């Protein structure tokens, strides 16, 4: 069981447009663990599971974290619970912060593109980029109210933060926003799939790691041609289980009573990560680096190309 942090809901702000910002602190107001810009936490929602939210406050503030949650009626219950059940003073449990976006240290110019509530990871990054004196811009495409940006008027006035209400105005071309490929420029995108597709197309020729993506929703994954039914062996207990064709490792582990945390179930959040020891995993996630894949897999989407897979569980 991963270590959890107990947090008190210190303050709730209605940010308009169905967005609620929660300010979280230690119940005794101790300092919280250090946060990297672009990091997220997994919040444990009773009877629902784990949901991932980007930390949107200034990472330099050591005794408070902030998350902004847009209520989604089509969600699987996380945002509705955070909107309807949480009051100021309530206790919630979260993971330690995990790194989502990483600021590309070799770049001197940073272009961030967000779709609606996809702004959240960039708010924490912008605080840091601003302090470092780097050249940055945050472009936010949204439909309807986007009141959360009103807290950043200085950035708007200086042309750092630009918003585009596509319900009343023209949708900007990403090619106009993104510069030509250049080793001194890094670009980041967080938003709906159509925005991510356009961003990927525009940055295809960019230097490796200089175009980074964070997904809102898991995209549809094509079946892995080389995946097959297999036996998973749990190294620590010696237990084995059969993983059927089309079944995820996560589902097979839950079926035999093993507790594995999960959230997106689509290979984009990293909550269900496990270490593997032997076998030939077929990775279908969208976030692990090639190095990380040498030792870890995401159990909600990974398949296996060998008869047996040994995991460190
Ligand atoms: S549950 Fe999100 S990556 Fe597996």
What are the structural domain ranges in the chain? 5-99, 109-215, 230-311
- Given the CA of residue 267, which atom of ligand 1 is nearest to it? 3
For 5-99, give the CATH class: mainly beta
Please answer whether residues 129 and 48 qualify as being in contact, where contact means their C-beta atoms are separated by less than 8 angstroms.
no
Q: What is the DSSP string of 168-199?
A: TSPPPPHHHHS----TTEEEEEEE-HHHHHHH
For ligand 1, whether the C-beta of 161 sits within 6 Å is: no
- Rounded to the nearest 5 percent, the helix, strand and coil shares of the chain are 20, 30, 50
Please answer whether residues 53 and 94 qualify as being in contact, where contact means their C-beta atoms are separated by less than 8 angstroms.
no
Nearest to 274, CA basis, from 248, 296, 306: 296
Please report, in tens digits, the pLDDT of each residue of the chain (313 residues total): 568 999 999 999 998 889 999 999 999 999 999 999 999 999 999 988 888 899 999 999 999 999 999 998 776 688 899 999 999 999 999 999 988 888 999 999 999 999 999 999 999 999 999 999 999 999 999 998 888 898 999 999 999 999 999 999 889 999 999 978 888 999 999 998 899 999 999 999 998 789 999 887 788 888 888 999 999 999 999 999 999 988 999 999 999 999 898 888 999 888 899 999 999 999 999 888 888 999 999 999 999 999 999 999 9
Tokens of 11: 């303050």
Tokens of 146: 């986007």
- Given the CA of residue 285, which atom of ligand 1 is nearest to it? 3
Whole-structure pTM value: 0.85
Protein fold of 230-311: Ubiquitin-like (UB roll) (3.10.20)
pLDDT, tens digit, 9 for 90 and up, residues 163-217:
999 999 889 999 999 978 888 999 999 998 899 999 999 999 998 789 999 887 7
Measured distance CA(312)–CA(74) in Å, rounded: 35
Q: How close is the Cα of 236 to the center of ligand 1, in Å?
A: 22
Measured distance CA(220)–CA(222) in Å, rounded: 7
For ligand 1, whether the C-beta of 267 sits within 6 Å is: yes
- Given the CA of residue 263, which atom of ligand 1 is nearest to it? 1
For ligand 1, whether the C-beta of 298 sits within 6 Å is: yes
For ligand 1, whether the C-beta of 146 sits within 6 Å is: no
For ligand 1, whether the C-beta of 286 sits within 6 Å is: no
For 109-215, give the CATH class: alpha beta
- Residue 88 has a pLDDT of 97
Q: What are phi and psi of 176, to 5 degrees?
A: -75, -30
């Amino acid at each position: 069981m991963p270590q959890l942090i107990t947090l008190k809901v210190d303050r709730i702000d209605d940010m308009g447009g169905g967005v609620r910002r929660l300010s979280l602190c230690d119940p005794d107001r101790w300092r919280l663990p250090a946060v990297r810009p672009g990091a997220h936490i997994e919040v444990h929602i009773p009877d629902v599971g784990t949901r991932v939210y980007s930390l949107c406050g200034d990472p330099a503030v050591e005794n408070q974290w902030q998350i902004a949650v847009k209520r989604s009626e089509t969600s699987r219950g996380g945002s509705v619970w955070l909107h309807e059940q949480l009051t100021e003073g309530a206790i919630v449990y979260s993971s330690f912060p995990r790194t989502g976006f990483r600021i590309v240290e070799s770049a001197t110019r940073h272009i961030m593109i967000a779709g609606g509530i996809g702004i959240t990871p960039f708010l924490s990054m912008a605080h840091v980029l601003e302090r470092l004196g780097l050249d940055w811009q945050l472009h936010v495409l949204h439909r309807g109210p986007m009141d959360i940006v009103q807290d950043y008027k200085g950035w708007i006035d200086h042309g750092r933060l630009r918003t585009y209400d596509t319900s009343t105005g023209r949708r900007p071309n990403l090619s106009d926003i993104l510069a030509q490929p250049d080793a001194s420029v890094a670009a980041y995108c967080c938003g709906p799939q159509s925005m991510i597709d356009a961003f990927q197309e525009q940055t295809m020729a960019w230097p490796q790691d200089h175009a980074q993506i964070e997904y809102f929703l898991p995209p549809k994954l094509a079946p892995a041609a080389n995946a097959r039914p297999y036996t998973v062996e749990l190294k620590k207990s010696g237990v084995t289980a059969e993983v059927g064709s089309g079944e995820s490792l996560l589902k097979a582990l839950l079926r035999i009573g093993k507790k594995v945390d999960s959230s997106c179930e689509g290979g984009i959040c990293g909550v269900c990560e496990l270490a593997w020891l032997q076998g030939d995993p077929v990775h279908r996630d969208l976030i692990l680096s090639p190095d990380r894949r040498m030792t870890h897999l995401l159990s909600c989407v990974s398949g296996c190309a060998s008869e047996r897979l040994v995991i460190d569980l």
